[in-house]
Amino acid sequence: MLSLAARSSIATAPRAISRRLAIRTPRNSTLLPRASIHAVQRRNYAAHEPAQSTRSAVLSVLSNIGSKREIEQYLAQFSSVSSPQFAVIKVGGAILTDHLESLCSALSQLYHMGLYPVIVHGGGPQLNKLLEEAGVTPEYEEGIRITDPKTLGVARKLFLQENLKLVNALAAKGVQAWPITSGVLQAEYLDQEKYKLVGKIVGVNKAPIENAIKNGCLPILTSMAETFDGQILNVNADVAAGEIARAIEPLKIVYLSEKGGLFHGVTQKKISAINLDEEYEGLMGESWVRYGTRLKIKEMKALLDDLPKSSSVAIIHPEHLQRELFTDTGAGTLIRRGNKLITTSNVNEMGDINELKSILVRDREGVDANAVIDRYLQGLGQRDFKAYFDENMDTLGIVLPPSQPLSIAHLATFTVTKNGWLSNIADNVFQTLKKEHPRLMWTVNQNDENLTWFFERADGSVSKGGEVLFWYGIEDLSQVRELMAEFTQKGRRMFGDINLESQLHRAASAAFGLSEEAVARQQARAYSTMSSSQTQGISKLSSGRTFSSRSRPALRTSRSMSSIGLRGIATGANPNPPYGNKQRSRDWPAKVALIGARGYTGQALIDLLNRHPNMDLRHVSSRELAGKKLQGYTKRDITYENLSAEDVRKLADSGTIDVWVMALPNGVCAPFVEAIDQSGSDSLIVDLSADYRFDSKWTYGLPELVDRAEIANAKRIANPGCYATAAQVGIAPLLEHLGGQPSIFGVSGYSGAGTKPSPKNDTENLKNNIIPYSLVDHIHEREVSAQLGTEVAFMPHVAAWFQGIHHTISIPLNKKMTARDIRNLYQDRYAGEKLVKVIGESPSVKNIAGRHGVDVGGFAVHSSGKRVVVNATIDNLLKGAATQCLQNMNLALGYGEYDGIPLD
């Protein structure tokens, strides 16, 4: 019998959703404050997004078919690729005749959400009717229509009419559609003698499709092809859609069907999902899988074998298209490649022991974490268990057999990488668990962003102390009550010594002389009155959740990593303690002194500190502005001071400053740092200059590429350069694939030249001009090379705009790669990072100016496949300086990393 897998959620971490939605909404007034910009952008891929009110209205409509979480995570997934790579939708002739209204309504909603599917339509039933009226008897050979010149003439006329009918129907709903009736499908004769004017597709020209979408239109294609000498040939619409999909590599290939999916030949129930890697051989052996059904499944497998694993096929009725696309349960039949699973009851058969330990510890680095995992594995070796995992260990589940008195199996470990979520491996594993374990229980933190996923797979739940116990398969109500009572009384301790999470809690409590209850209470706090050393140790060992949700990425779509018993850093609040060894109680917010506030960066940082809920700016030093009142800061009245190094030492001695920010030119801040060091103060220093970026005693503060724990525990943080931040983000995911020296062509707005007058910030000199400078041995060249561990070439320029940097980075590769391969590497590396956005198109300076992150895109691969050009943009005053400074301050002071930072 066919194994009917539960529908999976192709999920994206909700923490990543807001930043990814912004990729697709450049018309949002919060991103484009000047209305005049809209007209300039009307011919960009993403420039045809609706106003936010229209988008919200569409989301409201969609909320009737699924949860907001589902809709937003799928929308984020679809928005994470370039516009042509969202979906290819094949529309049969019967759909155009009988379900045109449903089709156009569905396509209209996609269009108004900024999604541009490629539509390929046929016209088989209409053609049969027209041929009959013309006195032509249709002829078939092996299921293929023999197409003579008369038949082709009728078909050509019909397809043009049907194409125009669909375009006009969409226009009536406010959708711009672009009829494409030739120039895309290149073909040769399939067998001219046998089939006459029937084509075999040999090439796809994507340019007309891309141009349509670039101009804000849905491309509407007919299933007609041409030979290289211009002869029109008839091709099957399903085949045409498949070949276009092979060329475009979309996330979704949708076949609209009146039946709405594939149906099981015995039970007659709709098949919800087919995981080909697991089920194909067994499925093809079923007696009912024959004729058209057999051919359809074989064709789908052949198509998906040629596409990335992220691609999937859906067979769905047009009325249910949105439910299929935007909900976990779907509505039609989802066909995906899936992954073959491995099971074992022997630790030694789970691969290299050190790799297994690293998988179990994941992000759980701590004083005693490795020792605890050693004991955990030793315990597994001494008892029965069963492990379920894929070859890459993207998902690992460990189930302990039922124990008395409840006789319910326990899912003791369930760790999933982002790729495991996005490739649906987690669903495959869990479905296997349900087949083999009719009764199962597990725990999840109640604030976990993936909590809904687990609710959908459970029969019941109960919460205690921030944890949720789930179960399924328990039909006896008295056992349910007993289980709930046990968990309510004991929490995770009910699972005994084999539970890894309980062991980690005990390790923390033993290390710091605390009870397990105290450890649990510590996890819920953003900061503590305990000593720094105590809190740091607990955070490393025990912070987070039973199913951890530390954002990573993606995919393209990404869920965050999750694990039972292996909890990572909690989202929503930084687990690290307040900076320094002093006890903190209510002497919050942190008191800040800014040395060097006249420049653009200083002003940007003042604005951010003014918004921050827990930063209190006390001193602002500027020699030129001394005595003047600080403008733009509303928390208190501040007058500029001209603080000397001795003044700084006295303030440091007084202990009234928690963090010093040095916003001084290069080579100037050393006396101030020495004064603070001499005072013996343990206050934090963040230096925005280049003075300490090469000093091993200072922590380099680029949170997206440096271990955040190092920043959180640092006393001295060197803030990276603006050019250097964008360049490193643009190169880092390809480090292991480098085939030579990356070359970085960078162009900055003139704010990067500072406020001191020079030819580089003279607007008249920059008018209609671009100025190169320091083309070799620039300090950012040294900085990027030192941090990445590989030599780079950097060529900076300055141009006439005010703020924002654009990088064009040429990167040699050590092997052939496709643009899709490379983009996936970047999405995987940065998924979940709120201030790094990976897009398909090249990012533009006008879209990054005034925003707080880095945009990376382009991914143009040379015809050799051995060189890629990547574009990166950054606002030099914000993520290039002030925003990154605030990130580092937040981490080191124990606040949420993004507190006070407006997120897109």
Q: Please tell me the distance from the alpha carbon of residue 682 to that of residue 693, in angstroms, as a whole number.
A: 20
Q: Please tell me the distance from the alpha carbon of residue 779 to that of residue 182, in angstroms, as a whole number.
A: 53
Give bridge partners of residue 410 from the DSSP assignment. Answer: 400, 441
CB 404 within 8 A of CB 364: no
Look up residue 836 and give its two tokens. Answer: 């790094």
Radius of gyration of the chain (CA): 30
CA nearest to 658, candidates 634, 700, 686: 686
Q: Which residues contact 841 (CB under 8 A, 6 or more apart)?
A: 44, 45, 46, 82, 857, 858
Q: Please tell me the distance from the alpha carbon of residue 127 to that of residue 145, in angstroms, as a whole number.
A: 11
Residue type, 346: N
Active site residues: 722
SS3 203: strand
List the beta strands (DSSP E) in 658-709.
659-662, 684-687, 699-700
Q: Compute CA distances 889 → 531, 582, 671, 731, 832, whole Å.
A: 19, 17, 21, 25, 20
Residue type, 835: L
Element holding 616 (H helix, E strand) = strand 615-621
Element holding 637 (H helix, E strand) = none
Q: Which residues contact 38 (CB under 8 A, 6 or more apart)?
A: 27, 32, 47
Provide the 10 A C-beta neighbour count for residue 138: 13
Q: Please tell me the distance from the alpha carbon of residue 390 to that of residue 462, in angstroms, as a whole number.
A: 31
Q: Compute CA distances 264 → 202, 272, 316, 317, whole Å.
A: 34, 10, 15, 17
Residue type, 278: E
Q: Compute CA distances 440 → 66, 403, 406, 428, 473, whole Å.
A: 27, 11, 11, 16, 7
CB 844 within 8 A of CB 873: yes
CB 537 within 8 A of CB 709: no
SS3 652: helix
Residue 630 phi, psi dihedral angles, 5° rounding: -70, 125
Element holding 172 (H helix, E strand) = none
Chain centroid to Cα 709, Å, comes to 22
CB under 8 A, 24+ apart: contacts of 139-144: 141/194, 141/195, 144/190, 144/195, 144/198, 144/236
Longest dimension (CA), the chain: 102
In a 10 Å sphere around its CB, with 0-12 CB exposed, 13-18 middle and 19+ buried, how is residue 800 labelled?
Answer: middle
Q: Please tell me the distance from the alpha carbon of residue 412 to that of residue 499, in angstroms, as a whole number.
A: 6
Q: Which residues contact 611 (CB under 8 A, 6 or more apart)?
A: 900, 902
Q: Please tell me the distance from the alpha carbon of residue 39 to that of residue 704, in angstroms, as a whole number.
A: 34
SS3 796: strand
SS3 689: coil
Q: Please tell me the distance from the alpha carbon of residue 127 to that of residue 155, in angstroms, as a whole number.
A: 6
Q: Which residues contact 459 (CB under 8 A, 6 or more apart)?
A: 471, 472, 473, 474
Question: The tokens 């020296």 sit on which residue?
Answer: 741
